[in-house]
Structure 1
Amino acid sequence: MNMVEDFAPEVELGLNWRNSFAALGTDFYTLLPPRPLSAPYWVGRSASVARELGLDPSWLESQDALEAFSGNQAIAGTQPLASVYSGHQFGVWAGQLGDGRALLLGETASGYEVQLKGSGLTPYSRMGDGRAVLRSSIREFLCSEAMHGLGIPTSRALCVTGSDAPVRREEVETAAVVTRTAPSFIRFGHFEHFSAREQYAQLKTLADYVIDRFYPACRETDKFAGTPYAALLEMVSERTARMLAQWQAVGFCHGVMNTDNMSILGLTIDYGPFQFLDAFNPAHICNHSDHQGRYAYNKQPNIAYWNLFCLGQALLPLIGEQELALAALESYKTVFPAELGARMRAKLGLTDEQPGDMELIESIFKLLAKDNVDYTIFWRRLSHWVGGRAMSDAPVPDDSVRDLFLDRPAFDTWLLQYSERLAKVGYGLAADLMLKTNPKFVLRNHLGEQAIRQAKLKDFSGVHTLLNLLETPFDEHPGFDSYADFPPDWASTIEISCSS
């Protein structure tokens, strides 16, 4: 019997729910209702996500919506469940994990799974309380939508509700629930769980489910001796490679790339101690808990491959031959550098690939690192400088870009080489591409922190403003230039850890 039947009355969202993950059987999850959140209030809502789900955004203004997405009323047609998985955390096998504070409600007819995160204890909460706090919930809500605005594959966030209910972390904070969506929240760790337990029938059931729902072409390939599970590993490797290239190009640090935080669909999920780079430092560590620097910015691509190798090991009982699994992983080594190269050429406005392009890219990265230049501001100013060149036959001052560097002679040399390369493209074409590639706005840590401080005082205007800017980060948004400015000195003192 579904425990959510105890809820009355049910909220009707007007969505046709499916529960295909629930159909896999109770080896994969535990059915249970969310725990109510006392006296909830709205913190943030995304009309864009509502429309994607097939919801009327105005319905998010209602009390029914507030209660439903706080876990206080059951939603008709859903089967809330917490899934079980395992994984490697900071490179060490952690054993059984699972949805310790998230419940999957089901999937909508539009193809999106919907989760409540922070909805209370589950059998997989371990030593936790099953709750999420306001600060981390705001960060996940905003960054999910920021990444979507940047065109990076990601889970998304419909809304955040808050409560004055106390939650103890390093200090006493207040509770919140994020309603997040994705085509699937299945992780590498789901496969690791059943493989490690030698539950190969369940492993096959899960792999078949993922292939049939998301990767049907795996059954049609002649590669890997016709083994669909090796084809699955290859497709996941390629999606992951493309996602990592996008992270690196935009200067995004995830902060906690454990195998249980890696999406089988190549989506960015589980926003915890993330950060967009301020001053460019390839070895930047955004997670205060990452004492060894395992998940530093410049290590992310190799860590992704390490995680894919773990997925390959988990799938090996289905693939059969180690050589096939290794061959499936090889695509990562070609797709990632090719995709990153294409992303970086686009940031420079280069519409084709020419000899010397990689040297041009590598040399500007060295200069950015040497002088700790602000990553986002550099690329946006360079875009505008190229745009100025496109509109004038005369030389255009480059002070706005040049002044970012201490070693100006070295930058002058690079800019001359870059200008000669741009002459082959055309400044107008290059500027158009660059302004659509290099965002003006990213979710810097200090911006999120300012919005969180306001929200703790029940002022959610900062959350609303940031959501508006981050949904369209390539637009100029006149009047909001301060949100695209250099971070204040105190920004470097912000510490973000895995605790939330």
Structure 2
Amino acid sequence: MPVAPAASPPTRQPGGWCFDTTYLSLPGRLYVRQAPVPVRDPQMALFNRPLAAALGLSLEDLPEEDLARLLSGTTVPAGATPLAQAYAGHQFGHFALLGDGRAILLGEHLTPDGQRVDIQLKGSGRTPFSRRGDGRAALGPMLREFILSEAMHALGIPTTRSLAVTTTGEAVLRDHVLPGAVLVRTAASHIRVGTFEFAAAHTDPATLEALIRHTLGRHYPGLVPDGAPATEAAAALLTAAIDRQCSLITHWLRVGFIHGVMNTDNMTLSGETIDYGPCAFLDSYDPATVFSSIDHGGRYAFGNQPAIARWNLARLAETLLPVLAPGGDLTWVQTLFDRLPEQFDRQWQQCLTDKFGLSADAPRDLITAGLAAMQADEADYTNTFAALTDARQKQEQTGTAPCPFHTPALRRWYQDWAAAAAPPGSATRMAAANPRRIPRNHQVEAVLTAATETGDLRPLHRLLEALTEPYRDDPDHIAYTLPPAPQERVYQTFCGT
């Protein structure tokens, strides 16, 4: 059942905006109509022209002052219907009622090819959900989200994206005074596990069923026939959400991404990565790696992410139980979750065979030993797999490849790897699975320091350029493949709220 269209086709407005906000058809408890709060002196910092073109927006002819006002929320585009969304969430395992405390959804924009995309302002002022917050955002974290989300998109991983960052001419107070900013974020939607938790917390079956059907129509059109019973709709949604999250987490592990704050309000039903607060990428391989300054117990460590995804999905299932199993028979749901570790493991093992360039029937011990050798040698995750990819390419071309490693555990393991049967085309599979460049934590911090302390955005633009084609070996961008020197290592990342 597709999302219901507007009563009449929406009109494309100046600049290419075309809003048709179906979220407003949901029960009113799920949102509050709220305009963004204007800022004092908006100035453009970053503008994503390729994304704007993909969205069908033609904003480049606007004077920069007008563009900054538009993308900071100081003026609102024609046709927009701003709102703040209500949701709940388990944050580090503890339940809370939340909501958009510093974000405003301008609406759902229809691209020329019919895609429906949320346009959200982050850092756009107080809302009824702000609690004691100021509703604003600092420049550094907004630039960070721009870099990381666009890097994830280039890596081929489902993600929200960043259209623009504007400075506000206003200071925000965190642990010290920082320059303020607004991020324009695009998303398939901002419907989260926490959105369902909010509906369930209000014990309103009508709201819950409406949200189920809306989410199916938005993200899984045609999955169930129109008019299907609510039980069938809820079962289809849960199964589809599990499939997408298994795929997403596998992608995260493939590139060494650590989300850092996998609360249920940061898990989308669309299967996109959302919220780039304390996230980071692995340097040396260790499943226990944690960067987030607030993750004291390692709950969201790199290797724990599959288990936390399952935990979050179990919270989603709990919200759906009044519709999913109204008679109290949980057998089907329990069976689904009993099989979930196996489902993820199957996908992750397939991913690893691609990364290592092995056949599906290769000894699993060979992969396990390779990861153990990387950990023992404190080997760089990205560069180790890039070196293996190069070795496989040489092996396919010449029949042999010298060991590219100089550390003891990897050198010993490499002999077994080189002797293992390689399926045809394995070098191509490896090249597609193993990026050459990631947004390395020390490089991200360096460009953010330059941008926020001296106003120099040139290093940031060079980093963005290097991350545009991360799977292509490019000698011009060799500096962005270098792991950090000891004095450059980033040991903690911060949420920035």
Q: Does the pair score TM above 0.5?
A: yes
Identity of aligned residues (%): 36
- For the pair 1:343 / 2:342, whether they are aligned, the reply is no
Q: 2:472 aligns with which of 470, 475, 486?
A: 475
Alignment of 1:42-81 (within 5 A): 42-56=44-58, 58-59=60-61, 62-81=64-83
Structure 1 counterpart of 2:460, one-letter code: V
Following TM superposition, by how much is the alpha carbon of 1:263 offset from its aligned partner in structure 2, in angstroms? 0.5
138-147 vs 322-331, greater mean Cα deviation: 322-331
| CA 264–489 in structure 1, closer or farther in 2 if over 3 Å, else same | same
Aligned to 1:353: 360
SS of the residue corresponding to residue 119 of structure 2 reads: strand
Q: Structure 1: how far apart are the matches of 2:441 and 2:74? A: 32
Aligned to 1:143: 148
- For the pair 1:390 / 2:390, whether they are aligned, the reply is no
SS of the residue corresponding to residue 398 of structure 2 reads: coil
Residues 379 and 438, structure 1, Cα contact 8 Å, conserved in 2: yes
Following TM superposition, by how much is the alpha carbon of 1:225 offset from its aligned partner in structure 2, in angstroms? 11
131-140 vs 413-422, greater mean Cα deviation: 413-422
Q: Structure 2: how far apart are the matches of 1:396 and 1:323? A: 53
> TM-score, normalised to structure 1's length?
0.91
Gaps of 5+ in 2: 1-12
- For the pair 1:188 / 2:196, whether they are aligned, the reply is no
Aligned to 1:374: 380
Following TM superposition, by how much is the alpha carbon of 1:493 offset from its aligned partner in structure 2, in angstroms? 4.4
State the number of aligned residues.
476
Aligned to 2:252: 247
Following TM superposition, by how much is the alpha carbon of 1:181 offset from its aligned partner in structure 2, in angstroms? 0.7
Following TM superposition, by how much is the alpha carbon of 1:449 offset from its aligned partner in structure 2, in angstroms? 0.8
Structure 2 counterpart of 1:353, one-letter code: A
Residues 142 and 181, structure 2, Cα contact 8 Å, conserved in 1: yes
SS of the residue corresponding to residue 455 of structure 1 reads: helix
SS of the residue corresponding to residue 305 of structure 2 reads: helix
Gaps of 5+ in 1: 1-10
Aligned to 2:410: 411
Residues 13 and 76, structure 1, Cα contact 8 Å, conserved in 2: no
Aligned to 2:341: 333
Q: Structure 1: how far apart are the matches of 2:450 and 2:330? A: 54
| CA 114–225 in structure 1, closer or farther in 2 if over 3 Å, else same | closer
471-480 vs 305-314, greater mean Cα deviation: 471-480
Aligned to 1:444: 440
58-67 vs 161-170, greater mean Cα deviation: 58-67
Q: Structure 2: how far apart are the matches of 1:166 and 1:378? A: 43
Aligned to 1:8: none
State the Cα deviation string for residues 328-349 of structure 1 (Å, max 9, x = none): 4355333311211121111122
Following TM superposition, by how much is the alpha carbon of 1:168 offset from its aligned partner in structure 2, in angstroms? 0.8
Aligned to 1:100: 101
> TM-score, normalised to structure 2's length?
0.91
Following TM superposition, by how much is the alpha carbon of 1:234 offset from its aligned partner in structure 2, in angstroms? 0.9
Q: Structure 2: how far apart are the matches of 1:136 and 1:225? A: 41
State the Cα deviation string for residues 173-211 of structure 1 (Å, max 9, x = none): 111111111111100000001111212211111111111
SS of the residue corresponding to residue 183 of structure 2 reads: strand
Structure 2 counterpart of 1:153, one-letter code: P
Aligned to 1:83: 85
Following TM superposition, by how much is the alpha carbon of 1:142 offset from its aligned partner in structure 2, in angstroms? 0.9
Aligned to 1:7: none
Structure 2 counterpart of 1:338, one-letter code: R
Q: Structure 2: how far apart are the matches of 1:224 and 1:298? A: 38
Following TM superposition, by how much is the alpha carbon of 1:227 offset from its aligned partner in structure 2, in angstroms? 1.8
Residues 59 and 67, structure 2, Cα contact 8 Å, conserved in 1: no
Following TM superposition, by how much is the alpha carbon of 1:48 offset from its aligned partner in structure 2, in angstroms? 2.5
State the Cα deviation string for residues 40-75 of structure 1 (Å, max 9, x = none): 222222223112211237357743322111111110
Q: Structure 2: how far apart are the matches of 1:235 and 1:488? A: 43
- For the pair 1:324 / 2:324, whether they are aligned, the reply is no
State the Cα deviation string for residues 279-302 of structure 1 (Å, max 9, x = none): 111101121111111111111110
- Structural RMSD (CA): 2.1
Aligned to 1:122: 127
SS of the residue corresponding to residue 181 of structure 2 reads: strand
Q: Structure 2: how far apart are the matches of 1:61 and 1:369? A: 53
Q: Structure 2: how far apart are the matches of 1:445 and 1:421? A: 34
Q: Structure 2: how far apart are the matches of 1:58 and 1:381? A: 42
SS of the residue corresponding to residue 112 of structure 1 reads: strand
Residues 195 and 203, structure 1, Cα contact 8 Å, conserved in 2: yes
Aligned to 1:425: 423
